[in-house]
Structure 1
């Protein structure tokens, strides 16, 4: 779903970290996560299953992997009232 996001924090060595975001950029796309053989792969995938782009990280370097699903409806504080004329 457009707006899905995965945030990846990796150890870059000597006490520094780098943060990467993979985002579903269009309607109908999703973000998939796969892991195996010491590699974590985060991909943006279309409805039909075609991979649009992929990010690969060494599993022993990944400190955090956070999934941020897209909101289905705006939160109550995000709804802006509209003015109606009588």
Structure 2
């Protein structure tokens, strides 16, 4: 979904670098795969064809943050606490 974003923070030998992989067009999404010490973050089309790919060594990753593109109303509902006895 356009607006999906994955932020990868890595240790680059004495400094910290941040990389963003963003779904740039409608119908594209960002997928994460891990295997054999490598993390692959790809922007893919609806059919699953990779458009852009970034690969990182897993032992260098400090943080991997997914920022899904979501409707504001849905996100607000997920964040609001539901207390026992309250309506809504």
TM-score (norm 2): 0.80
The corresponding residue for 2:83 is none
User: Once the two structures are superposed, what CA deviation does each residue of 1:23-58 show, in whole Å capped at 9, x if it has no partner?
Assistant: 000000000000000000000000011100100000
The corresponding residue for 1:71 is 70
C-alpha RMSD of the superposition: 1.5
Gapped runs of 5+ residues in structure 1? 77-86
Q: How many residues align?
A: 75
Specify which structure has the higher proportion of strand: 1
CA distance in 2, matches of 1:37, 1:13: 21
Gapped runs of 5+ residues in structure 2? 77-88
CA distance in 1, matches of 2:71, 2:2: 10
Q: Which runs of 4+ in 1 moved over 4 A?
A: none
TM-score (norm 1): 0.82
Specify which structure has the higher proportion of helix: 2
